[in-house]
């Protein structure tokens, strides 16, 4: 895209002033090309091409010059639909019925900040990922800040997957134990966390994310099936809608907000989806459709689960479902699909970043063995943390309050203001962005404090 086009949509003038001047954009594009060349040279032509195509979703990697509108919608739904669906009734129980308005507000804000990221990508050529947007706004410091929050978020989400698997498998097979020689007996959630990690481990060794993307697509259907199964339990299995709940619980609002935000923590993949589209101008429609569909699904699960169990709903609504019922088993089995299909996708970007840092210039034969070792150590570390902090609801609230708020609300607003400037945004939009920054900061501070406090109290 021409630099002049970016400036006409709100970029800074080409007068050398701070912002998006022509030299800055040209230097940035050149640095991106140089960095890409170095990565490909270090990793080998095949590995470099695979890394760029898979991580960035370049349009030329797609058949026909890019992904279609429908396929991009499907990928967006897959990115936004996740394990947050199980904790959404618990979030509603923490905040009360009136907190549903906050769910809608969070969805609207996150959709808007997603659009801001798209505008930032349109500001300069060569911007392919979230860290690139940070680099465009604040240089090396911006890239490091964006990368740190994104990788920390992905790491903790991977830990949440293991906790989720352990909880639900323990409900399906209560009392399961295994004798491990002199180490004693391992049982319950701890046993299943370890077993699940062993099963998932080989998927993290795969270098091509294309196969994993097709596997993870099942998560979209799984999210809808889980809601249907929970509704089936209420209507056909005698549970009914007996939970009255509370209108408002002020003390629980920070936790509720953190969990609501966690449900919309897909901003890390938005630049990838936009780059992969055949018609990038339609990406704004993709965002609106994906957020609307996911919000409908989340709100349905929240209302159904809270009506069924009221304030007794657990951090994962599947843990409340009656044992032995077909609908309960189907819901839990379906729930298990998401972690198995998405764990490797969460860990791979972090593993790739570590590999590029440690293995630049090494021999290909040694790289492959070290790659396996790095990814194995990452899985082992997530198992250790999952066993040490087995509180799914509180962990997800912490991720949502601290990391998701930063990646989904604060950083897009700050980067946008830095790139385009307050004067170019207009007073109304600048005021809206400032409001989001202030409220997001309050949510991050209060939610993080509440989540850490709850985790500490559980020990």
pLDDT tens track of the chain, all 459 residues? Answer: 333 333 333 443 343 333 433 334 444 445 555 555 544 444 444 443 333 333 433 333 444 556 778 778 877 887 787 778 889 999 999 999 999 999 999 999 999 999 999 999 888 888 878 888 999 999 999 999 998 888 888 888 888 888 888 888 888 888 888 877 766 677 788 888 999 999 889 888 876 544 444 555 666 788 888 999 999 999 988 888 988 889 999 999 988 988 898 888 888 778 877 877 888 888 999 999 999 999 999 999 999 999 999 999 998 898 899 888 888 888 888 887 777 767 877 787 788 778 877 776 555 555 778 888 999 999 999 999 888 876 777 777 778 778 888 989 999 999 999 999 888 888 899 999 999 999 999 888 888 888 888 778 876
On whether the CB atoms of residues 91 and 261 are closer than 8 A, the answer is no
Distance in angstroms between the alpha carbons of the first and the last residue of the chain: 54
- Angle at which helix 427-458 crosses helix 100-122, to 10 degrees, equals 120
Distances in Å between the Cα of 293 and the Cα atoms of 74, 80, 284 are: 11, 10, 14
Q: Check residue 426 and give its pLDDT.
A: 85
Token pair, residue 390, equals 């087995």
Token pair, residue 360, equals 């630049």
Measured torsion, CA atoms of residues 375, 377, 382, 384, in degrees rounded to the nearest 10: 160
Phi then psi dihedrals of residue 359, to 5 deg: -110, 10
Q: Check residue 54 and give its pLDDT.
A: 36
The pTM for the full model equals 0.74
Instruction: Measure the CA–CA gap between 14 and 149, rounded to whole angstroms.
Output: 32
Q: Check residue 8 and give its pLDDT.
A: 37
Measured torsion, CA atoms of residues 57, 62, 68, 69, in degrees rounded to the nearest 10: 0
Q: Check residue 353 and give its pLDDT.
A: 78
Q: Strands 185-187, 177-179: parallel, antiparallel or unpaired by DSSP?
A: antiparallel
The residues spanned by each domain of the chain are 18-458
Q: Where are the alpha helices (DSSP H) in 62-99?
A: 69-80, 84-95
Kindly state the DSSP code that residue 11 receives in the 8-state scheme.
P
Instruction: For residue 277, list its beta bridge partners.
Output: 67
Q: Check residue 207 and give its pLDDT.
A: 60
CATH number, domain 18-458: 1.20.1740.10
Q: Check residue 77 and give its pLDDT.
A: 82
Instruction: Measure the CA–CA gap between 452 and 394, rounded to whole angstroms.
Output: 8
């Amino acid at each position: 895209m021409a630099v002049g086009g970016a400036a006409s949509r709100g970029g800074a003038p080409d007068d050398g002033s701070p912002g998006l001047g022509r030299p800055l954009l040209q230097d940035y594009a050149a640095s991106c090309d140089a960095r890409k060349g170095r990565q490909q040279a270090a990793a080998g032509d095949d590995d470099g091409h695979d890394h760029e195509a898979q991580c960035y979703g370049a349009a030329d990697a797609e058949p026909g010059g890019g992904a279609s509108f429908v396929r991009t919608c499907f990928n967006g739904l897959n990115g936004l639909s996740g394990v947050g669906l199980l904790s959404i009734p618990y979030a509603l129980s923490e905040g009360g019925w009136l907190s549903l308005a906050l769910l809608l507000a969070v969805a609207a804000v996150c959709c808007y900040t997603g659009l801001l990221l798209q505008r930032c990508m349109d500001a300069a050529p060569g911007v392919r990922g979230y860290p690139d947007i940070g680099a465009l706004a604040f240089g090396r410091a911006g890239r490091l800040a964006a990368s740190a929050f994104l990788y920390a978020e992905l790491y903790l989400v991977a830990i949440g997957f293991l906790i989720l698997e352990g909880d639900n498998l323990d409900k399906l097979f209560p009392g399961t134990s295994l004798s491990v020689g002199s180490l004693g007996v391992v049982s319950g959630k701890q046993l299943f966390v370890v077993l699940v990690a062993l099963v998932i481990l080989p998927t993290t060794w795969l270098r091509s994310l294309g196969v994993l993307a097709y596997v993870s697509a099942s998560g979209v259907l799984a999210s809808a099936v889980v809601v249907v199964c929970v509704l089936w339990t209420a209507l056909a299995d005698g549970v009914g809608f007996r939970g009255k709940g509370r209108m408002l619980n002020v003390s629980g609002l920070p936790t509720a907000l953190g969990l609501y935000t966690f449900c919309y923590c897909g901003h890390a993949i938005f630049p990838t989806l936009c780059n992969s589209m055949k018609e990038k101008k339609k990406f704004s429609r993709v965002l609106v459709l994906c957020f609307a569909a996911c919000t409908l699904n989340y709100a349905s699960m929240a209302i159904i689960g809270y009506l069924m169990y009221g304030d007794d709903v657990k951090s994962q609504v599947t843990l409340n479902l009656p044992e032995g019922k077909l609908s309960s088993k189907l819901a839990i089995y379906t729930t298990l699909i998401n972690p198995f299909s998405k764990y490797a996708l969460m860990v791979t970007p972090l593993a790739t970043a570590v590999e590029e840092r440690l293995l630049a210039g090494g021999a290909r034969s040694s790289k492959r063995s070290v790659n396996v070792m790095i990814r194995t150590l990452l899985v082992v570390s997530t198992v250790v943390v999952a066993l040490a902090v087995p509180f799914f609801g509180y962990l997800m609230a912490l991720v949502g309050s601290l990391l998701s708020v930063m990646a989904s609300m604060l950083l897009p607003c700050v980067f946008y203001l830095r790139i385009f400037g307050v004067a170019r945004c207009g007073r109304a939009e600048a005021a809206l962005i400032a409001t989001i920054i202030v409220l997001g900061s309050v949510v991050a501070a209060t939610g993080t404090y509440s989540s850490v406090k709850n985790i500490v109290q559980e020990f």
